[in-house]
Structure 1
Amino acid sequence: MRILVTGGTGYIGSQICVDLLEMGFEVVIVDNLSNSSINIVTKIEKITGKKIDFIHADITNKMELEVVFRSFQIDRVIHLAGVKSVNDSINNPLDYYSENILGTIILLDVMKKYHVNKIIFSSSATVYGIPKEVPIKEEAKLETRNPYGLTKLAIEQLLGALAQSNENLSIVILRYFNPIGAHESGEIGEKPQSIPNNLMPFITQVASGERAYLQVFGDNYNTPDGTGIRDYIHVADLSKGHIKALQYLDNHSGCEIFNLGSGSGYSVFEIIEAFQLENNIILEYEVVGKRDGDVASCVADISKAQQVLEWAPTKTIEEMCRDSWRWQQMSSQENSMKRALEKE
């Protein structure tokens, strides 16, 4: 079976590709490399010992996508491509509507033309907005207000409408909470091309000396220590959720939605402490003002994924911190070697 992974050289996509290859699937990646590197393809092949087909293309380009579908017999699609920063979306909403919504429409149109009826879509807990109850169930009210979340919600609604219009379609929507960690080899992990939007990349960059200190956005939330609480899930566990979703696609039609998180909440200060203890590092940080749109607590109810997909996370917060730091160390060493070679 051949799986097309859009955005497959990204942080989550690369981990999914590793798991797919190790399970015997053939994998085709389509990525425009806007937030990743072609070197990730080599690293995926190094980890798995298997060949992967990579096409440098943008999902908003229908002609490029059609070449992919004509060249390969695609059986399933895992759709992760898109732009994903809440703050950036507020400043550049047009980019988000264009890349995320238009790109998905073009992908779905090409899938229809080539009779590909099964897709997993990468959504986000951002669609819940400010949750009324925690942990959050899939049936909770959706009221996101930032452009990024609105694009995810619009795509979810489109996929639901498509499933109602065509009984042959099988769609799984996965709402991610907060992925952290890295592949256990240290070869692939989260490496933002610009200023990180998420907590763990900030922490690892401060630990490695790339940044002087960590900014903690607010310490007066209605939480035990005043900092925001989030549901952090190891990227390896998140990837396993996609494998389970693929299996679900084979036996079900329609559109189904699942939360993927750890089911547990950790505050910013708790993550800092866990990282320091696990890696024997002291982090410099400064408390600054809250960011617009941040909520006090966001934790997943994962009972549906546990029961229906027979999936459950296994990684601890300590493993998340350890794997994140291993990845940062290897990445920093690699960058140092590159700079040394360039000077010769």
Structure 2
Amino acid sequence: MNVINAFGKQPKSWMLAETLVYLGGVVVLDLHTTWQFSMFVFYSTPVFFIALHFPRRMALGFAIFVGVVAMLANLDSLPRRSMGSFAWAGVNRTIAYLFVAGCAISVRNVREEMRQRMRVLEHSQELEREIIRAGEREQMRIGQDLHDGVCQTLAALDCAAQCLKLDLENAGSPQAKLAADIQKGLSAATLEARNLARGIYPVSIKGDGLGLALRELVMTTKTLTHAPIGFESDDDIAVRDSEVAMHLYRITQEALSNAMRHANATRVDVRVTRENQLLKISVADDGCGSAIPARPDGIGWRTMRYRAKLIGAEIKMETEAAGGTTVRCSIPYSV
């Protein structure tokens, strides 16, 4: 295949010239060989190459041309056989060369169809990646708007409520307690909004930011759900590709969300380790099982699998008979 590919990368004029030179060499060899020895394979080779790289009409015409050349090169056999036998052998050889050309044309068509399918597949995958990137950009915009807009407004209202509480306390007003309750609620809402903003889009995800972002994700989830969630991570974890890191973050986020919403777990553990040149992330719960086993084609599980496929990672789910589900994602650490 390397020879065929190298031949096909040349200019058309070069390919045709080299083929004619080769054919001339075959004719010379045939003229110096007794007619009992068949040169069919040697004559078929240029027919195959021409049919593989040139238009169909030219390929079929070249096959007929080679058939005529082969007949002329075997004129020395005419005294030993009848004209009818000689002509019949020439027609058979020409038909065989046409068949070789047809096979090469079929191979070329199959290769072209496969290349077209690969282009369509690559285009489809690029569109899918762009959809994911567009989603990430939109999440970033929403997270930033939430942080810079709603969070700042709540913080300002919290400050105003704090000032109002102090004024009412100084005035000895009985409404000071109500102002204190309002200020406390605003503080809680501000904290929750900030945690939501970080969950929608983590700020630091490049380099060694993946471990920090996952640690912050666990802390935010603990704050919002008041659930016991453990986190372990090797200190030297670093993912240089920010897109890969973001996909790993989203996979962990989805697995953690499923465990918290559907598993009825009393504890969830998130671990990020490096083993045997692999970066491994696991999310394990001790509950009754998440929604993933019951709905293997659910959008959450499909999204995790698709993200893993995009970055060349392997993801699998293990459910213990006694209860509990573990989602494991591993990727070569050369990322």
| Shorter-chain TM-score range | under 0.3
More helix by share: 2
More strand by share: 1
Question: Which protein has the larger Cα radius of gyration, Structure 1 or Structure 2?
Answer: 2
